[in-house]
A and B are shown apart, each in its own frame.
Chain A
Amino acid sequence: MPNSKKLIIDGAESSNIWHFVDDETPLAEAPAIISLARLQDEGAELVAAGKKLGVILRAGEKQGEDVHALKPFLDNLAVVAIEFPVYRNGRGYSTARILREQMGFRGEIRAVGEVLFDQWQFMHRCGINAFEVDADVSLEAFNEAMDELSAAYQPAADPQRGILWRRHN
């Protein structure tokens, strides 16, 4: 992670122990976030070697990588990073919900890329719990953004129930 970024996990500033490693660089001891292609190629060996793995789903030119491809590796994945190449590319919101709600992933889901103030609350509602944000973002500002809307009409991946349901009981 470049120095201009900071990591907020579950509402607290966290040091980043995970490193993005490209497909050519051999994996060292440090926990690594690798590409989907490398996970598919080397995943079985890495798991056999007892490594905890992280993977990044890239946004791609046209459609982005398919979260369903992670299925065989879910038990050994600690981190899934989802790339948001620009704020207006919101495909990752669906990726995160599928990962949490349909695939039952309980590890860290990290938003990387263009991850701005006005997206954090919605990302969090979709199951993203780790945010790679600009270094000058204060934790206070982050938490303020998280509270901008006090309720939601609809259910999502977070525990809050939609207003359409909360009105009754």
Chain B
Amino acid sequence: MYRYDEFDHQLVAERVEQFRGQVERRVSGELSEDAFKPLRLMNGVYLQLHAYMLRVAIPYGTLSSRQLRKLAHIAREYDRGYGHFTTRQNIQYNWPALARIPDLLAELAEVEMHAIQTSGNCIRNVTSDQYAGAIADEIEDPRIISEIIRQWSTFHPEFSYLPRKFKIAVTGHAHDRAAIKLHDIGIVIVRNEAGEIGYEVHVGGGQGRTPFIAKKLAEFVPKDKLLAYLEAVMRVYNMLGRRDNSYKARIKILVHETGEEEMRKLVEAEFAQIDASKMLEVPQAEIDRITRYFEPPAFETLPAESAAFNKAQADDAGFAQWCRTNVVAHRQLGYSIVNISLKPIGGVPGDATDVQMEAIAELAEAYSFDELRVTHEQNLVLPHIRLDDLKAVYDRLVTHELATPNLGLISDAIACPGLDYCNLANARSIPLAQEISNRFADLDRQYDIGELKIKISGCINACGHHHVGHIGILGVDKKGTEFYQISLGGSADEHASLGDITGRAFTEDTIVDAIETLVETYVGLRHADERFIETYRRVGLTPFKERLYAE
């Protein structure tokens, strides 16, 4: 993975000192809360319901064991012994004291981490495919261009006070695990007919109160032109994006109001200007330097089959089941990709304790070339595990309650922090995720239901991605009471779609029964092997709606 050089180290260290000065000026009263706000936000510090929250960037979701150990240490020393992995591949701490945050950031800098641009109206942490470099049929490891984008967008002087926040996601694989069509800019690495690698650029996707699937503005941006193209999109947005109404300030609204065709023309005109200067063409030597950090680790040459692995599966049904749900084929023979579910039955989606983080770091060090990933579905990944080692890894995970075999199943829900933490929320999300998980606790039933993505947001800002849940749940507030609105048929992958709202919202007491009704309806309607989303696309909303609102 990428390692800082002296420039990276120096800039992050300077940023820590800069923020230390800002905190001091805030504490002394020289800075008002209003003036401090954009500064703390650009360093990932939010003011939540009960306390300050710090969001730490995990660029494109890649971590080393040393870094995860530091995150565990911070959970223990600066927080209440846990951290929360988010849908943007970041980690959040809910209880740090403001005055100690500069020290916390200095500790992060020791392991080449930071909280820069994890909030505020700037270019946020670049997200990517959690299987990068491990999955077969990848066109190119998306972390290479993600790292270049990370550097280009860090402390960008022109784009640090945008109309609104700005999120970029990259995938290097035809199967999109990074939800790129739901981002301000989504990049797909593609190969053209001449065999050259370039980028398909999608612009103006997003969720929130007005969700949009991104429009494909460019079919093929050549490799050396991408930063110029991105700068053109950003400049058009910074010049024309709305600043009169924060609900209409995201680029998705600009694209929608301007029209796809006109937006493409504006971007291309700006691109022509920037491209002519050549100044954003990154030297090949630098691309090569960054590429070397993402070269495949020293895989052993192994047979495709492992006798030890086969025997362990035959001996231990629980292990075999976990392998079926949580283990994915690797590009390298004899290896596998392991998903660690952070969704124990009845648990808080995405939370991990300091002890769990340390156990996972140890596994990464011992078995996965020191590498880890965070997924936007709030789970962790050990990307390179030998089949021979799977049982040992599984046993350790079981010890730490990290071996729930439910990846992609109904209990593997995304949930935003909701009313338990967030001052924007209308309703609680986490307790609802827990209730659904408990209701469907029986794993055999979950396997029978199959892949079903439930996504829960506690308010219209959609941090829990409800618009793209196979079943999406949105918390709404009606006269001081929490209600939950259901949508069906959303999807965040390469066939991205927005869910259809079923109708009248449900109360806290009836929402879980409603989910059960939907599941039963699906089970009754499905053809053999048909997933929920496929059945929904075949039959549409009506049969579900009829059952849901039947008297």
Contacts and interface: CB of A to CB of B under 8 A. Distances in A.
Interface in A90-110: 90-91, 93-95, 97-98, 101-102
A155 B151 CA distance: 11
B444 interface: no
Interface stretch (B273-281, B359-367, B411-419): B273-281
B155 A153 contact: yes
Contacts of A62: 242-244
For chain A, give the interface size range. 35 or more
B38 A91 contact: no
Contacts of B11: 149-151, 153, 163
For chain B, give the interface size range. 35 or more
- Select the residue from B8, B14, B155 with max chain A CB neighbours within 10 A: B155
A148 B14 contact: yes
B247 interface: no
Contacts of B39: 118
Contacts of B285: 167-168
Nearest to B277: A101
A126 interface: yes
B192 interface: no
Given A155-B280, A165-B283, A90 B160 contact: yes
A166 B152 CA distance: 13
B244 A91 contact: no
A48 interface: no
B158 A126 contact: yes
Contacts, number: 114
B283 A91 contact: no
Contacts of B286: 164-165, 167-168
- Select the residue from A95, A126, A153, A154 with max chain B CB neighbours within 10 A: A154
B214 interface: no
Nearest to A163: B7
B279 A155 contact: yes
A61 B238 contact: no
B162 interface: yes
A36 to B, nearest CB: 15
Interface string B300-324: 0000000000000000000000000
B57 to A, nearest CB: 15
A18 interface: no
A68 B273 CA distance: 13
Nearest to B36: A118
Interface string B237-281: 011101110000000000000000000000000000100010110
- Those 3 A-B pairs whose CB atoms lie nearest each other, nearest first: A90-B161, A125-B157, A122-B157
25 contacts: A62-B242, A62-B243, A63-B242, A87-B35, A88-B38, A93-B161, A94-B158, A97-B158, A101-B277, A119-B161, A121-B157, A122-B158, A148-B17, A151-B10, A153-B11, A153-B156, A154-B152, A154-B157, A162-B152, A164-B152, A164-B282, A165-B283, A166-B7, A167-B7, A168-B289
Given A91-B238, A149-B15, 14 more contacts: A87-B38, A88-B121, A90-B162, A94-B235, A95-B239, A149-B11, A151-B7, A151-B10, A154-B157, A164-B152, A165-B282, A167-B285, A168-B285, A168-B289
